[in-house]
Chains A and B, each alone.
Chain A
Amino acid sequence: MTEPLKVLIVEDEALLAMELESLVEEAGHSVVGWATSSAEARSMIESTDADIAFVDIHLTDGPTGVDVAHYIGEKKRSMVVFMTANPKRIPDHFAGAIGVIAKPYTMNGLTSALRYLQEGVRRPPPVSARPAGFTLSPAFEAVWAPAA
Chain B
Amino acid sequence: MDWKRTREPADAWHMTDDLHVEHGKGDPFAAAIRATRMSMVITDPRRPDNPIVFANDAFLRLTGYERHEVLGKNCRFLQGPKTDKAAVAQIRTAIEDNADVSVDILNYRKDGSTFWNALYISPVSNDKGEVQFFFASQLDVSDRKRSEHRITADKDRFEKAVKERTAELEAALEAQTTLLHEVDHRVKNNLQMISSLIIMQRRTIKDEATRHSLATMLERIEALSTVHRRLYQSKDVSRFDVSDFAKDLVTDLLTASGRSGIKPKLELDPIVISAEKATPVALMVNELVTNALKHAFKEGPDGTTAGRIGIKMSQPDGHFKIEVSDDGVGMAEANGDASFGMRLIKSLARQLHADIEWRDAGPGTKVVISMPNEPQQKGLSHD
Say whether A and B bind each other. Answer: yes
Instruction: List residues of A whose CB falls within 8 A of some B CB.
Output: 13, 15-16, 18-19, 22-23, 58, 85-86, 88, 102-109, 112, 129, 131-133
Give complex CA distance A103, B224 in Å: 12
B200 touches A18 (CB 8 A): yes
Q: Does B32 contact A (CB under 8 A)?
A: no
A104 touches B228 (CB 8 A): yes
- Chain A CB within 10 A, most for which of B196, B249, B253: B196
B195 touches A107 (CB 8 A): yes
B256 touches A107 (CB 8 A): yes
B248 touches A132 (CB 8 A): yes
Chain B residue numbers with a CB within 8 Å of A131 are: 251-252, 255
Known: A22-B203, A108-B255. A103 touches B189 (CB 8 A): yes
B185 touches A85 (CB 8 A): yes
Give complex CA distance A19, B226 in Å: 18
Chain A residue numbers with a CB within 8 Å of B218 are: 107
Q: Does B346 contact A (CB under 8 A)?
A: no
New contact pairs (5) apart from A85-B185, A103-B229, CB-CB < 8 Å: A19-B200, A22-B203, A104-B189, A107-B222, A129-B251
A105 touches B196 (CB 8 A): no
Give complex CA distance A106, B218 in Å: 9
Q: Does B191 contact A (CB under 8 A)?
A: yes
A106 touches B226 (CB 8 A): yes
From A85, A107, A133, contact of B199 by CB (8 A): A107
Q: Does B175 contact A (CB under 8 A)?
A: no
Chain A residue numbers with a CB within 8 Å of B226 are: 104, 106, 132-133
Please name 7 pairs of A and B residues whose Cβ atoms are closer than 8 Å in the assembled complex, sorted by A. Answer: A22-B199, A58-B185, A103-B189, A106-B256, A107-B199, A131-B255, A133-B248
Instruction: List residues of B whose CB falls within 8 A of some A CB.
Output: 181, 184-186, 188-189, 191-193, 195-197, 199-200, 203, 218, 222, 225-226, 228-229, 247-249, 251-253, 255-256
B247 touches A132 (CB 8 A): yes
Chain A residue numbers with a CB within 8 Å of B193 are: 13, 15-16
CB distance from B279 to the nearest CB of A (A): 14
Chain A residue numbers with a CB within 8 Å of B252 are: 106, 108-109, 112, 131-132
Chain B residue numbers with a CB within 8 Å of A86 are: 181, 184-185, 188
- Chain B CB within 10 A, most for which of A16, A23, A102, A107: A107
A104 touches B229 (CB 8 A): yes
Known: A15-B196, A16-B196, A18-B196. A106 touches B225 (CB 8 A): yes
Give complex CA distance A86, B229 in Å: 9
Chain A residue numbers with a CB within 8 Å of B197 are: 15
Chain A residue numbers with a CB within 8 Å of B253 are: 108
Chain B residue numbers with a CB within 8 Å of A102 are: 229
B189 touches A13 (CB 8 A): yes
CB distance from B286 to the nearest CB of A (A): 11
Give complex CA distance A132, B203 in Å: 25
CB distance from B205 to the nearest CB of A (A): 15
A85 touches B195 (CB 8 A): no
- Chain B CB within 10 A, most for which of A15, A85, A88: A85
Chain A residue numbers with a CB within 8 Å of B189 are: 13, 16, 85, 103-104
From B184, B222, B256, contact of A85 by CB (8 A): B184
Chain A residue numbers with a CB within 8 Å of B228 are: 104
Give complex CA distance A58, B182 in Å: 11
Chain A residue numbers with a CB within 8 Å of B203 are: 22
Give complex CA distance A88, B196 in Å: 23
Name the residue of chain B whose CB is nearest to the CB of A102: B229
A22 touches B200 (CB 8 A): yes
Give complex CA distance A71, B116 in Å: 69
CB distance from A51 to the nearest CB of B (A): 23
B256 touches A108 (CB 8 A): yes
Chain B residue numbers with a CB within 8 Å of A107 are: 195, 199, 218, 222, 256
B200 touches A88 (CB 8 A): no
From A85, A106, A112, contact of B188 by CB (8 A): A85
From B181, B222, B229, contact of A88 by CB (8 A): B181
- Chain B CB within 10 A, most for which of A106, A107, A129: A106
From B200, B225, B247, B249, contact of A104 by CB (8 A): B225
CB distance from B287 to the nearest CB of A (A): 16
